[in-house]
Amino acid sequence: MTITIRASLDADLPAIRDIYAHAVAFGTASFELEPPDLAEMARRRETLLAGGFPYLVAVLSDDLAGPEAGPAAPATRVVGYAYAGPYRPRPAYRNTLEDSIYIAPDMGGQGIGRRLLDALVAEGTRRGFRQMIAVIGDSANHASIRLHAAAGFDMIGTLRAVGFKHGRWLDSVLMQKPLGEAATAAGA
């Protein structure tokens, strides 16, 4: 099996919706309480793409079919996705991104999140963005905090008890990574 990171396609949206719906229903990475439907997920993705932001997927390919399988294409499955969008809507933030990464529930711990995050950082840098902010739902989300730290994000702070979900108060952890020339070049 092979994992490939690529730009998302319209055809990926049902899998993206399913991955996110599970995260909303059972996790604390998102502070949404109800999973959005497919049309809303498509609208959100289109808004980001139209704004020049990256939206990536991790695709698992079954490349074990071998020659005996004939000309059939290998089976593929979207097992994660990541995107970067505006950190805040006001114009002075236009060079700063906020990242989001979601992995299929049966695929955690296999390095997919790191590959998606590395690709997202590279793509954000290539597009000229200067900073990437991780707003991590729940200070108990140790996997996401470790992932971002391993990718070079610095801990900026914790907003205590700012969300209420699944019967408990949740923190937001803020982490930051400079991209490209970061704050050293003239403003854009």
DSSP states along the chain = -EEEEEE--GGGHHHHHHHHHHHHHH-SSS--SS---HHHHHHHHHHHHHTT--EEEEEEE-----GGGTTPPPPEEEEEEEEEEESSSSGGGTTEEEEEEEE-TTSTTSSHHHHHHHHHHHHHHHTT--EEEEEEE-TT-HHHHHHHHHTTPEEEEEEEEEEEETTEEEEEEEEEEE-TTTTSSPP-
Whether the full predicted model's pTM is greater than 0.85, yes or no, is yes
Q: Tokens standing for 100?
A: 């989001």
Model pLDDT, residue 184? 72
pLDDT band at 115 (very low <50, low <70, confident <90, very high): very high
Q: Where are the domains of the chain?
A: 2-178
pLDDT digits (tens, 9 = 90+) for 3-42: 999 999 999 999 999 999 999 999 999 999 999 999 999 9
pLDDT digits (tens, 9 = 90+) for 44-68: 999 999 999 999 999 999 865 555 5
Say which residues have a Cβ less than 8 Å from residue 42's Cβ, sequence separation at least 6.
Answer: 10, 13
Beta partners for residue 170, in sequence order: 163
CA distance 180 to 112: 23
Model pLDDT, residue 75? 81
Model pLDDT, residue 46? 98
| Of 186, 6, 28, 163, nearest in space to 81 by CA | 6
CATH class of the 2-178 domain in this structure? alpha beta
Model pLDDT, residue 1? 82
